Amino acid sequence: MLGGKRIICLCSVTFLFNTYNINISTPFRTLATGVVKDNNIEVVHKDRFGLLINPVQEQYEKDKLESDKRKAEVIKQDELEKSESNNKDWQEFILTYYTSLNSENGYGAITSQGKRLSRGGCANNIIPQNTKIYLENYGQVTVNDKGSNKHFAVDTRLDVFIEREQGESEYEYKVRVLKLGKQVVKGYIVK
């Protein structure tokens, strides 16, 4: 009986190795000769160290370098703004948020200047148009729209535009912006 189990086990292992044909030389040959896709050969490039890479990987590296440069610029800009902010007249702003939906904009997704609503834009009726305001933990916004006189006829109230995310329904967009509520944030007018 024990011999029969050994034979069955041996047959199972043999079947397993015969079923899965593993060839470790294929990936190395592919890197050396190129990638064949649909009878077309995709050219493989060398990076700065002489290692073989494909174009997708090369583009990823370029994008990563650009991203790192942008991050360094943002950090530098934040440090500059922080050093400048020590000399500014800080005040509290009450922030509310609005969407590009027609129900909130009488003439569609445009500002009072007739320009398209854009990220970093806000509405206020007292502060002059195109005034830049730095808001703590938020960044810089530009007054480029007007709101109702009932709410935005004071210089401490800003209605900040929030962009619609790709693939977001009108309902999801409106709910997301409404959840932001009303916030009190410290800031100063950039001169």
Q: What percentage of the chain carries pLDDT values higher than 90?
A: 8
CATH code of the domain occupying 84-189: 2.40.40.10
Judge whether 132 and 140 are in contact, CB under 8 Å.
Answer: yes
- pLDDT band for position 24 (50/70/90)? very low
Question: Can you give the pTM of this predicted structure?
Answer: 0.52
- pLDDT band for position 184 (50/70/90)? very high
Radius of gyration of the chain (CA): 30
Judge whether 159 and 97 are in contact, CB under 8 Å.
Answer: yes
Rounded distance between C-alpha atoms, residue 76 and residue 81, angstroms: 9
Judge whether 127 and 157 are in contact, CB under 8 Å.
Answer: no
Q: What is the sign, positive or negative, of the torsion defined by CA atoms of 100, 101, 104, 106? A: positive
Of 37-46, 86-95, 135-144, 148-157, the range with the lowest mean pLDDT is 37-46
| DSSP letter (8 states) at residue 163 | P
Give the residue range(s) of CATH 2.40.40.10 domains in the chain.
Answer: 84-189
